[in-house]
A and B are shown apart, each in its own frame.
Chain A
Amino acid sequence: MRAAVLQFPGSNCDQDALFALRNDMGAAAEYVWHDETSLKGFTAVFVPGGFSYGDYLRSGAIAARSPIMEAVKEFAESGQPVIGVCNGFQILCEAGLLPGVLMPNRDQKFICQDVFLRKEISDSRWTRGSQKVLRIPMAHGEGRYTASEEQLEELKAKNLIAFRYTSAAGDDDPEANVNGSTNAIAGIINERGNVLGMMPHPERAANPRFAYGDGLQILQGLTSE
C-alpha cells in the first residue's frame, strides 16, 4: 500500500493520519497538497480531519471543490479505497462521494470523548474481521449526520450504514448517540464499498500500545480488497 494523506489549509489530523499509517500499519504514506491534480502511484487515500478553510460557508464545502478532489473522485471511481475521517467525512459528503451532510451537534457543543461503534455490515473491506464493537475517540462540533428521506432509505436498503453509535455492549442506546445523528449513524460507505466516511477517529486509536487499538482494524480496509 502507498497511501496519500491529503492536506488542506486548516487540516489538523494529517500528521496523526500519516503517523498511524506509517508507524502503526507499517505502510508507505505521503502528504498530498490540495492543489495537486494527480494521485498517480498511490493505492489508498486518507482525507484527514481538521477545519479546512476554517469551516467557512459549510464544513468541508470549500475543500470539496479543490483540484485534488477531482483526482479523488476518479480514484474512487476506479474502485480504490478512500477513507474520510471527521472533516474528511464532511469533505466527502460535500464532494458528492457520499450522501448526506454533517450538521452541528444536537447540543451545539464540541464533543471530545471516546465512543463505541457497532459495525453494521460485516462483508465490507472496512469491517471484515473486525470486532463487533469498536472503541474510537471522537472530536467534533459538527458531526450530526443527516440526509434526505430518499438518501436514508437508500442507505438502509443497500446496507451502506457502516457504523452506529451504541453502548459499550453494542446495544442501541439514545444516550450513546452523543451528537444526535439520524439513526445514530457514525459512518457510511458508498455503494461500491470502497469509500468510507466516519466522524470518529480510527487513526487516533491505531497504536497497539494504547489500552485499545481498535482503529487499526478499520484502517486495515485501506489494504484489503
Chain B
Amino acid sequence: MADSLKKLGYAEVEGARIGKLIELEVQEYSEERVKQMCDRLLANPVIEDYRFEAVE
C-alpha cells in the first residue's frame, strides 16, 4: 500500500496500515457497555487494540 502510494508520487508516505472500522447503532450510549462489547466480542486482545468514540 505504502509502496503503491510512493509509486503514485507520494514520497512522503512512510508507512500504512489497514484496520477495522465497526459502526454500531445503539438506542442509548453507555461507554461502559460499549467497552464490554469490545472486550467480549469485537476485539481479540491477543492481536488487536481498540478505541471507540460516540458521535451523534
Contact = CB atoms under 8 A, between A and B. Distances in A.
Chain A interface, >50% SS class: loop
Contacts of A62: 41
Contacts, number: 20
Contacts of B11: none
B12 to A, nearest CB: 27
Interface string B22-56: 00000000000000000011101011000000000
Interface residues of A, number: 14
A103 B44 contact: no
Contacts of A184: none
A78 interface: no
B46 A58 contact: no
A57 B42 contact: yes
A61 interface: yes
A130 interface: no
Closest A-B pairs by Cβ, 4 of them: A101-B46, A101-B47, A148-B46, A58-B44
